[in-house]
Amino acid sequence: MAALLKLLVVASALAAASAFLRRPKTLKVTKGELWESSVQLARRWGYQAEQHRFFTSDNYEVILHHIVASRNGTRGGVPVLLGHGMVSSDEQWYIRGPIGPIFLIAEQGYDVWTVNYRGSFYSRRHRTLNTKDHEFWDFSWHENGVIDQAEAIDYVLNATGYKQLIVVGHSMSSTAQVVLLAERPEYNDKVMGQVLMCPTVLFGHPTGAVAWGLGRLNDVSFQKLDYHDSLENDWVPGLAHPVPETCYINSGSPKAILMPHCLRIFDFIMGKIHRPVNDYLLYLILHHYPAGASIKQMVHYIQSSYSGNFSLFDYGKDRNQELYGQDIPPLYNLTNIRTPTYFVYGSADATVNWKDVKILADRMNLGVVKKLHLVVDYNHIDYLIATDADKVIYPALLKYLDEIRDGSYSKELERPKVTTF
């Protein structure tokens, strides 16, 4: 079972490598560019950046990166905290360069911070455990939300002196943010607003790999699974960087050539390709992917998909009784969320079906969801690598941040209409 989950993850990584190419493509990239950290990438593009760290209440080290100022030296604006997707790190926000979302946000006058959740490439330390200990990996996106995200918010607010900040989530970081506000509603008072892109919360209409996986799982599979395991970049024997080394000839050289065998996997995992993808950017991203995650994170998603509910982790009847006082895990209380929320999602996403985002919005209190932004033909990772994201997605993101900062969104208690782009 664990091997199957690892296969699904590497398949999703291979999927990303398909890009929008229908023939091999030669890239011109230097080795130095492949291994730069978030801070180095920011400095490459002319921004001051720094690294921050703290230990959580349960002893995990969490790394934050901070863009100190815009290029013209502007600093001290409303803080914006961005999280990353599963098996990723905050480098996903930095690799795109000056036209990437975090640098555009900084140029808009915001104070930009990015968080790396426990188990990702940057956040691999613990006061008493190491990554070879199974106990280190005993967490899901529940802990990413109620602990990592919560304490990252506190850290940023303490560092900046602000009483509130804005959150931007993508994929799993959207899940973590929803979990936090549902489980610890006091954090609604610390979040001015949130923009959640392709929120992986409900899975009532699975397609692609999600539907395929659910058709092969059952309760026995979960009972036999040891979820105290990890998903890391070097887990394929003999391959230091399995995704690019599998998808490219001459990986790591300026003459790397993308192989077309990754194409079909992409359609299967992330959704059918409709938008052109920046192959140079993709090649950089894949050298940092997968950036680490726990098997338990994936299992928690599979449980949600299998049950059709958004609930706490299911440990089985006996353990559930000990932890929750009931046979099945309780649902997350979405009505606890009071923070103004913007959902951005794609019609071609095979992971997050647009119908489920609409259902999620309907389950939240009237007036909380300010925008349902459906992007035509976008799949799960087009937000990061589509060549037109800086024209299709990022202007809307900046507009939503300004609306949150200025409080200029609708105050009416109504369900928003779906806006398509």
Tell me the catalytic residues. 171, 349, 380
Name the CA dihedral angle for 370, 380, 207, 359, rounded to a multiple of 10 degrees: -10
How far apart (Å, rounded) are the C-alpha atoms in residues 401 and 263?
A: 35
**Kind and range of the H or E element at 289?**
none
| Cβ contacts of 17 within 8 Å, gap of 6 or more | 243, 244, 246, 247, 248, 258, 262, 266, 282, 286
277 within 8 A of 284, measured Cβ to Cβ: no
Paired with 166 in beta bridges are 80, 193
| Cβ contacts of 385 within 8 Å, gap of 6 or more | 16, 19, 96, 277, 278, 281, 282, 285
Strands 61-67, 257-258: pairing kind: unpaired
- Burial class of residue 300, CB neighbours in 10 A (0-12, 13-18, 19+): buried
342 within 8 A of 370, measured Cβ to Cβ: yes
Q: How far apart are the first and last CA of the chain?
A: 40
How far apart (Å, rounded) are the C-alpha atoms in residues 353 and 346?
A: 8
């930009």: which residue's tokens? 112
How far apart (Å, rounded) are the C-alpha atoms in residues 325 and 250?
A: 55
